[in-house]
Amino acid sequence: MTEIKLVNVFTHQGAGGNPCPIVVDAAALNGSDMQSIAAEYGHESGFVLPAANGDADYTFRFWVPRHEMEMCGHATIGALWTLATAGRLRSGQVRIDTRSGPVTGFVDLDRSEDPYVEITQPMGKVVDLTQDQENSVLAALRLSRDDLLDLPLQNAVTSRVKTLIPVKSVGRLNDLTSSMPTTEKCCESIGSTGLYPYAIEDQAERRFEARQFPKSSGYPEDAATGIAAAALAFGLLKNGLVAADSRRITVLQGRPLGSLSEIGVRFAFADEAPRGCLIGGTTKLVGSKLK
């Protein structure tokens, strides 16, 4: 029997968050088994396996209903939270192998019943879209240039490429509509795994709101996307919307889904320059099932 824990990750004030099935003893599962669990729940799902080499504590795999993913931020945080609350972690610093590369998790074990979890992401790369690419994105989201801030549309990446679209207001952001076939076609044409429109909520407080329309996950929108929030942080930095310091950036997501979520991002520094970031959030257990 396989135990599946369903958790909500990146909760906001104890509610919302992105649902995520987690299996912490997945060594007996093959890829088809994992994909079947993701399809049953209709969400990105995380699977914990023994480490394949001595440089890591665990190997994590991630699936959505249609395919395997190289990396998933909220599933990584959800899996670490589940391991911690089950008393399965020997240390608050955990080395993880993923298909996108090594990730380090930091778990506040002093809060054993409800630990805050952060994970590392590498230095982001941000590239402005061409005019033709920009036109494709605007058409996909039924936007005009008048709906946007005077900033470029950009492809940004830490683990997966996300397309950043600077919308003028939170209200206009949450009025957006998209269709899965249109999003997939647009993302394919611009080399992206998801459209990530964002708006400024409070620049002085470093609070932003965003939405994620994934390329081909098998559902039209995510309630919270840690990897996209990490990419956004580097876009904000390049565009001068945040300073290069370690203060928290807060990204809210999921409001139109009735599942408002909160993602925290902090730049990580070496030699006084950003070299990567940490993404973190809170998690809530929703239920469990034996399959």
Q: Mark whether 37 and 158 lie in a shared domain.
A: no
Report the number of distinct structural domains present in the chain.
2
Tens of pLDDT, residue by residue over 70-116, are 999 999 999 999 999 999 999 999 999 999 999 999 999 988 789 99
The token duo for 146 is 């008048």
Q: What is the pTM of this model?
A: 0.93
For residues 103 and 189, state if they share a domain.
Answer: no
CB atoms under 10 Å from CB of 135, counted, come to 13
pLDDT band at 19; cut points 50, 70, 90? very high
> 266 and 132 in one domain?
yes
The answer for residues whose C-beta is within 8 angstroms of residue 76's C-beta and 6 or more apart is 46, 60, 62, 96, 98, 103, 105, 119, 226
Clarify whether residues 156 and 48 are in a common domain: no
Could you tell me the residue range of the domain that residue 74 belongs to?
3-122+281-290
pLDDT of residue 274 exceeding 90, the answer is no
Q: What is the DSSP letter of 124?
A: P
Same domain? For 200 and 153 the reply is: yes
Query: Which of 108, 115, 96 is closest to 47 using CA atoms?
Result: 96
The span from the CA of 69 to the CA of 181, in Å, is: 19
CA dist 158 and 166 (Å) reads 19
- For 227-258, what is each residue's pLDDT tens digit? 999 999 999 999 999 999 999 999 999 999 99
Question: Are 151 and 110 in a shared domain?
Answer: no
Quote the CA–CA distance of 127 and 276 in Å, as a whole number. 17
63 and 109 both lie in a single domain = yes
> Both 53 and 166 in a single domain?
no
Closest CA to 228 of 276, 193, 191, 180: 193
Give the CATH number for residue 80.
Answer: 3.10.310.10
* Same domain assignment for residues 183 and 233: yes
138, 111: one domain: no
The average confidence (pLDDT) of the chain is 95
